[in-house]
């Protein structure tokens, strides 16, 4: 194992041990820890982000507005993993009090549930599949579902408005099936760790963490919340001393952005008294510092030295993968609102301008 990787794991484990001891003490120590980290919740962050960016994120999703099918699922259900953008519609819809927008997001959540199996898993008809969705595919779906449900729960307008009453009924009707899939996914813990752990794909570990943590929070499933916290720690342990969230045991500027998106989402949903706040924030800081070095003056994200996304790199549906700049934009948007650092805003604007014009 890479010595740098070992050092990073040791430092994180020691830090977490110290934090655990610290937070067993007095409430005044909780206030001290909170003072060392930004205290903004996700909704506080979202209300400050440029609404034009949130609108852009919605427009980037190819969706059937009638049934909520996304991307390749529009030609007929293919995979639950493609249903992963409901939260964009729900976040923007709630912020603008656009009932129709929220409705589309909730349709997107409900679309694959008619293809759910009794055990909570899903059929899968994508090429090279074995007829059943992989744990990662279900995690992608629940990652987004949990995010959306938490957004709905935290919105007073959504929870109390007469015009959203029918949507609250829809969400309530879906929850038993969502909980069933969450139970199925929890049983796949070892498969997720086997596939995404040991430096293979930290971005997916973060997605797993939010799938469990956010869906668990939304459904009051403490067992899932605890598993989400465990997966967050596994994600933290896969950051090396340079700040890289490991992908194929190295650095990848595209998937670093995905990890940042997921890490900031997780952080802004942590309780103000969570013992993980300090260590997660420290990890995010190191990751951002490294990623900034890969943003060129033009705003383009350099792929030099990447382990996965580069010219001649990995493919998806026989098409070469491109940089996931939207994930980085979302991650940096959250980070900027948490820090108010003008250099982050400058980098964020450069990236968004460069790629949104392509």
Average pLDDT, rounded, for the chain: 91
Tell me what pLDDT residue 39 has: 85
Number of domains in the chain: 2
205 and 108 co-located in one domain:
no
The whole-number pLDDT of residue 26 equals 31
Q: Which of 141, 161, 187 is the last residue of a domain?
A: 187
Tell me, yes or no, whether 62 and 28 share the same domain: no
Confidence of residue 33 (pLDDT cuts 50, 70, 90): very low
CA dist., res. 67 & res. 195, Å (int): 32
Q: 49 and 19, same structural domain?
A: no
pLDDT single digits (tens) 165-182:
999 999 999 999 999 999
Of 186 and 126, the structure prediction assigns the larger pLDDT to: 186
pLDDT tens profile 250-292: 999 999 999 999 999 999 999 988 999 999 999 999 999 999 9
Query: Is it the case that residue 135 has pLDDT exceeding 90?
Result: yes
CA distance 77 to 181: 17
HSE of 17, CA atoms in CB hemisphere, 13 A: 6
Are residues 67 and 154 both part of a single domain? yes
Residues 11 and 45 occupy one common structural domain: no
Backbone angles phi, psi at 41, to 5 degrees: -80, 170
pLDDT band at residue 357 under the 50/70/90 scheme: confident
pLDDT, tens digit (0-9, with 9 covering 90-100), for 301-354: 999 999 999 999 999 998 999 999 999 999 999 999 999 999 999 999 999 999
Contact 279, 334 (CB under 8 A): no
Is 70 strand, coil or helix? strand
| Residue 152 banded pLDDT, cuts 50, 70, 90 | very high
Same-domain check for residues 265 and 326 = yes
Residue span of the structural domain in which 92 resides: 41-187
Report which of 334, 332, 329 is spatially closest to residue 352, judged by C-alpha positions: 329
CA distances (Å), 205 to each of 64, 140, 228, in order? 29, 11, 10
pLDDT tens digits for range 221-248: 999 999 999 999 999 999 999 999 999 9
In the chain, what percentage of residues exceed pLDDT 70?
90
What does the DSSP assignment read for 327-351?
HHHHHHHHHHHHH--HHHHHHHHHH
Domain C-terminal end among 187, 217, 238: 187
Q: Is the pLDDT of residue 4 over 50?
A: no
Beta carbons within 8 Å of 248's beta carbon, 6+ residues apart: 199, 200, 201, 307, 308
Contact call for residues 290 and 344 (beta carbons, < 8 A): no
Yes or no: say if 332 and 344 are a contact pair by the CB < 8 Å rule.
yes
Do 31 and 160 fall into the same domain? no
Q: What is the pTM assigned to this prediction?
A: 0.90
- Do 200 and 158 lie in one domain? The reply is no
Same domain, yes or no, for 228 and 259? yes
pLDDT on residue 277: 96
What is the rounded CA–CA span in Å between residue 205 and residue 84?
16
pLDDT of 184: 98
Half-sphere exposure of 223 (CA within 13 A, CB side): 8
């Amino acid at each position: 194992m890479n010595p740098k990787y070992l050092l990073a794991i040791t430092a994180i484990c020691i830090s977490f041990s110290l934090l655990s001891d610290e937070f067993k003490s007095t409430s005044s120590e909780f206030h001290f820890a909170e003072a060392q980290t930004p205290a903004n919740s996700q909704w506080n962050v979202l209300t400050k982000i440029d609404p034009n960016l949130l609108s852009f994120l919605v427009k980037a999703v190819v969706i059937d507005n009638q049934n909520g099918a996304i991307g390749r699922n529009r030609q007929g259900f293919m995979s639950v993993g493609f249903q992963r953008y409901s939260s964009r519609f729900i976040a923007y819809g709630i912020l603008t009090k656009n009932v129709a927008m929220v409705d589309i997001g909730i349709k997107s959540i409900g679309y694959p549930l008619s293809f759910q199996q009794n055990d909570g898993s899903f059929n899968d008809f994508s090429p090279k599949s074995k007829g059943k969705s992989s744990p990662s595919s279900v995690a992608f779906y629940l990652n987004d579902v949990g995010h959306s449900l938490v957004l709905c729960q935290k919105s007073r307008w959504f929870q109390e408005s007469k015009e959203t009453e029918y949507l609250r009924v829809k969400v309530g009707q879906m929850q038993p099936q969502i909980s069933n899939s969450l139970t199925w996914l929890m049983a796949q813990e070892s498969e997720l760790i086997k596939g995404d752990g040991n430096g293979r794909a930290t971005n997916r570990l973060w997605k797993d963490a939010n799938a469990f943590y956010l869906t668990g929070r939304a459904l009051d499933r403490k067992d899932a919340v605890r598993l989400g916290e465990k997966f967050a720690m596994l994600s933290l342990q896969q950051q090396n001393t340079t700040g890289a969230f490991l992908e194929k045991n190295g650095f990848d500027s595209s998937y670093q952005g995905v990890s940042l998106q997921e890490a900031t989402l997780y952080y802004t949903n942590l309780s103000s008294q969570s013992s993980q706040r300090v260590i997660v924030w420290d990890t995010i800081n190191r990751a951002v510092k490294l990623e900034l070095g890969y943003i060129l003056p033009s705003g383009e994200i350099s792929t030099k030295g990447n382990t996965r996304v580069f010219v001649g790199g990995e493919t998806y549906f026989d098409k070469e993968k491109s940089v996931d700049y939207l994930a980085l934009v979302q991650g940096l948007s959250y980070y900027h609102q948490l820090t108010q650092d003008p250099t982050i805003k400058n980098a964020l604007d450069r990236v968004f301008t460069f790629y949104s014009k392509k």
